Each structure stands twice: as C-alpha cells, then as structure tokens.
Amino acid sequence: MTRLITALIIGAIFGIGLAIAGMLNPAKVVGFLDVFGDWDPSLALVMGGGVLVNAIGLRFVLEREAPIQSAEFLLPTASSIDKPLVAGSVIFGIGWGISGLCPGPVVASLLLNSNAMLPFFGMLIAGLLLGRIVMRLVAARHLAWAEWRFYLFLSRVNGHNRPMQFFDGDSEMEPDYNAPLDYLPRIKSYYIGLGYGEPYEWAKLDHVPFTHLEKPLCEARIGIVTTASIFDPANGEQGPGAPYNGKAKFFRCYAEPITPFPDVRIAHIAIDRAHTTASDMASYFPLAAMQRLATAGYIGSVSPNFYGLPTNRSQRVTTQTDCPELLSLCRDDAVDAVVMVPNCPVCHQSVALAAAHLEAAGIATVIMGCARDIISYVGAPRLLFNDLPLGNGAGLPHDQPSQDLAARMALDLLLDACEPRTIKASPLKWVGAADWKKDYSNIALLSDAEIARLRAEFDAVKKDAADLKKAL
C-alpha cells in the first residue's frame, strides 16, 4: 500500500508539472517542433530544466544501495546506438510532430478531454503491442540469419559445398577427434604422471533436483554465473595468452553490477592454453549475448548483477559455503533462472553442484560447458554442451553469431528440458586444429624434463594460491 500511495503522489507531482509547463497543450509542442516556422523555444527550457534536476538528484539517489520503495535500481543497460533505436526515434518523432502529444501528457489529459484522448490512448497501447510483436519477429529473423551465416561459415572451413551435417558427439561414424574428450581419465593419468598420490575423487550426485521455469523467457530475469575473476592488475599477468596465475583466484562468491560492462578474466584456472588464448571475453562470459537477446525481447531482462562462483577443489566448501552464498545473491536480485559458464574441469564440478543447490531452491539453471563427461558424472539439471577447448563455454572467440546461437540454445533448454541430466549438444565446431583434443593434459606427450618442469610450476602455483587464501 505504501508503494501505491508513493506512486500516486509522484504521479500527481509529475502531472502538475506537465500542466504548468504547457505540455498538455498540443499547440505548444507543435510550436516547438516548427523550427522553420513560428518557432516557440520555451519547451526547450522545460526539457532542460527536467534534465538538470534529474542529473543533480540522480547523483545523490544512486549513492543509496537501493530505492526506498524497491529492492533495486532499474537502470538502462544498453549504451549503443542501433537500428531499432534510430527507427523508433524517427517513428516517435513523426507521431509527436503530427499530433503534438506524447504518452505522459496523454495520460495526464484523460480526465480533462477524454473524448479526444481516449482514442489516441487506445491506439498508443495498440502501437506498443504491435511494436513488441515486430521486435520479436525481427529478433527471430536476425537470430535465424546469424545461425545460417554461421552454418555457411563452417561449411567453407570444412570444404563442403553445402551446409554440413553437425555431429552430437554420439556417432561412431565420425573420426575419433569428433567425439567429446573424456576429461576425467585424462586428468587422472596426468596428475598420477606428475607424481601426485591418490587421484582426485570427483563429486557424484545421487539425486539431481529439477525446477521448471514457470514463466515465458520473454518475461524471465536471467542471471549469469561465472567462474571468471574480476580483473585486478595488482594480481599480475591475466591478459590473452597469460600463463596460469594462481594469484588471480578468488575464494568467496561475489555479485557485481553489469553496468559499466565488467572486465573478467580466466588466467587463474586450467583452460586449454595450447589452443585458445581467452582473447575474447564473450567466449566465456555471455553477458553481451544475453543483453542482445534482452533488447530483442527474447528474454525479459538480464539481472543487474552477475555472480562469481569460486573454483574450489573442496566439495565440502562448495556445497556448504559457496552454494548457499550464491543462492542468497540470486534471491536478492529476484532472478528466475541462471546461465552458468564453467571454464576448467573443477569449474564444471563446482557449477554442477551449485546448479543442484539452486534448483532445489526453485531457481532454474542451465550450464554452458565444454566438459561433457564431468557434468554427466557429477550430475546437473541441464547442460548445453559446446565441444570446444576449455575456456570457450559461451561460443567461439571473436564470432558473435556463434555466441548468439549458443546463448539462445542455452535459454531454450530452460524450457525444453523435461527432466534432470538433460544434455543438448550445440553444432559449434572448433575452427583451429582438428586434433586439438589430443593435447590437453596428455601425459603421454610429455618428456621427463617437461613433467619435472610442470610439477615444479604446479607446486609453485598451489603455494601462491594457498598463501592468498591464508591472507584473506
């Protein structure tokens, strides 16, 4: 009730301001727009005064953690000038110039001149609904065209004269390197080869919770969970091609705003450094793709914050500390579903455990990952499997169509999956070396000298991470 009363008071103040400024008079507006005729510039003072007051007041308001009557600030996230913005502005300007009316004054004038304003208001609502439908159709056409262009691109890369048939990783007719890489046995033999003792015991869920998304995607608020860390230059080299950097690790869940656009890195985790460089953040952090889908109306909105989940080998810490913290952060932002993007092998285990925790609490999840066997072993509600080198869970680097396709397929899986442990393979295929899967943590390819060097480097990295953890 308090919120309704507050809204009524603010609306009354706004309406009084429109009336005093003459905004309810169409002739006033038309006179302002008639720049080359009998121009009336007074309306510019109204606009300038409104912008000035808002600019000053907003600066103080945003110092608060949240509005008085709401859980969060709902600020625009789009910052680019695109075709829909230009087209919408032109159409709005034409209608404004012809009628001398815009939405605010029309609503304020309903009681003063309902016979004239009601038809205009009705058509205004119809126009808004029609515009939403058109935007969805345009978005669907754009995404379909991007998908088709991507198919043609892969066809040229592979020497076909027609769109290629994509594999899903289960066909025995494909060459061996087309089958998904089994990371679990590869990692086990690698660490035994380095001289470590008993192999790591991976988590395995007997029961995987499952939650259906209870609203259409076009109305849902989507959160992004990442194992990437926020860039801090004090932590050493973290740019494209950086070596493994344990100093950049983080050990507690975090929530950070998506505006301004964040800078997150994955130098602290075991991605495939032989075949990818992490030079394109969009290949492991799908915020830009999600924002494009939100702008197109494919999803309702992107959560104002994104969420960091630590890469933790301790399953106890993940389940008892990290998962409850992540759930609390998601609930604070009222997300309906989350898209989770792991990067390294242990990241895949962490997000699978977190997905189960979120689903048990009623938040639907989908993982965009590259280690299919790890997710299958641990157990997760939904996985969009991208058969790409680790570090590219959100699509091919520097390839927006592939990233948009992967994002859309992940979101669709939120609705299409009917049971836990649902896995869908994307058609994305690595455009680099065809045999890239033979290199990752392959102890058989290493000499004794290389094994000794890697063991020493790994011990040093573990020490750096341990020292950092103790300092917290």
Judged against a pLDDT cut of 90, whether residue 263 lies above it is answered with: yes
pLDDT at residue 404, as a whole number: 95
Judged against a pLDDT cut of 70, whether residue 41 lies above it is answered with: yes
Q: Which residues contact 340 (CB under 8 A, 6 or more apart)?
A: 224, 225, 226, 309, 351, 354, 355, 365, 366, 367, 368
Distance between CA atoms of residues 332 and 327, nearest Å:
9
Q: Which residues contact 24 (CB under 8 A, 6 or more apart)?
A: 18, 105, 108, 109, 112
Question: How much of the chain exceeds pLDDT 90, in percent?
Answer: 46
Residue 369, phi then psi, degrees to nearest 5: -140, 165
pLDDT at residue 361, as a whole number: 96
Instruction: Tell which wins on pLDDT, 243 or 37.
Output: 243
Asked if 311 contacts 249 with a C-beta cutoff of 8 angstroms, the reply is yes
Which range, of 65-79, 190-204, 210-224, 342-356, averages the lowest pLDDT? 65-79
Judged against a pLDDT cut of 70, whether residue 20 lies above it is answered with: yes
Asked if 154 contacts 139 with a C-beta cutoff of 8 angstroms, the reply is no
pLDDT at residue 124, as a whole number: 78
246-262 pLDDT, tens digit per residue, is 888 899 999 999 999 99
Average pLDDT on 108-117 reads 68
Judged against a pLDDT cut of 90, whether residue 370 lies above it is answered with: yes
pLDDT at residue 287, as a whole number: 97
pLDDT at residue 160, as a whole number: 40
pLDDT at residue 378, as a whole number: 97
pLDDT at residue 136, as a whole number: 65
Judged against a pLDDT cut of 80, whether residue 121 lies above it is answered with: no
pLDDT at residue 180, as a whole number: 93
Average pLDDT on 46-50 reads 78
The pTM for the full model equals: 0.67
Instruction: Tell which wins on pLDDT, 177 or 321.
Output: 321
Asked if 383 contacts 424 with a C-beta cutoff of 8 angstroms, the reply is yes
Confidence of residue 165 (pLDDT cuts 50, 70, 90): very low
Identify which of 368, 226, 371 has the alpha carbon closest to the alpha carbon of residue 310: 226
pLDDT at residue 114, as a whole number: 64
* Averaged pLDDT score across all residues of the chain: 84
pLDDT at residue 167, as a whole number: 38
Distance between CA atoms of residues 85 and 100, nearest Å:
21
Residue 423, phi then psi, degrees to nearest 5: -125, 130
Name the token pair of 282: 């969009």
Asked if 378 contacts 346 with a C-beta cutoff of 8 angstroms, the reply is no
